[in-house]
Amino acid sequence: MLDRDWYTLCGEPVNLKRAIMDATEGDGKSIIIGTDSQRFDHHEDFITVIVVRTEMKGARVFFTKERDLKYYTLRDKLIKEAYMSIQTAYELSPILPPSCQICALHADVNTDFNKGKSAKYANEIAGLIIGSGFPVILKPNSWASSHVAEHVLKKISHDLYNPNL
């Protein structure tokens, strides 16, 4: 995942390894990773975000995009999103300084059966991520996937970012 093209939240290309090293300098840093997807007429777009939080100061966001012509069932889509976040976390972990940890992977999965169809897969997705060695956060608190990645998806779909992404 890290060898893909990565961008800042503004859509500017970035050397991810260098940007992560710069963003994680100093104390009080934590990493949250999340993936979301959206179906369009002829494809699905998957966005994975890395959020580098600085305690009491804000965050830096980096994202990558994968376009897939295949249509997924809801379960398969949620599993692919989880795997993309897990793979990003695995590849990112070795380059992080000792003072900075991946504190959670956010999954865009409901926990309330009244709020969406994804709730029936919550245990499966959470188990997949926990079994891979990372803490997981599901909706309604999974803001990296539910809000940040979704924000990027909506911006790309409206061509506010580089349409070639």
Q: What domains lie within the chain, and their CATH numbers? A: 6-157 (3.30.420)
112: alpha, beta or left? (left if phi > 0; alpha if psi -120 to 50): beta
Q: pLDDT (tens digit, 9 = 90+) per residue, 43-76?
A: 899 999 999 999 888 999 999 999 998 878 999 9
The residue-averaged pLDDT of 121-134 equals: 98
Instruction: Give me the residue label for tokens 């600085």.
Output: 54
Tell which wins on pLDDT, 40 or 96.
96
Q: pLDDT (tens digit, 9 = 90+) per residue, 128-164?
A: 999 999 999 999 999 999 889 988 888 766 554 455 5
pLDDT at res. 160: 43
pLDDT at res. 153: 80
Q: Report the share of the chain in percent with pLDDT over 90.
A: 71
Closest CA to 152 of 2, 8, 15, 44: 8
E strand or H helix at 35: strand 29-39
- Going by pLDDT thresholds of 50, 70 and 90, the confidence category of residue 40 is confident
* pTM of the entire predicted model: 0.91
Burial of 59 (0-12, 13-18, 19+ CB in 10 A): middle
Q: Report the sign of the C-alpha dihedral through residues 82, 83, 88, 91, in that order.
A: positive
Q: Report the share of the chain in percent with pLDDT over 70.
A: 94
pLDDT at res. 114: 87
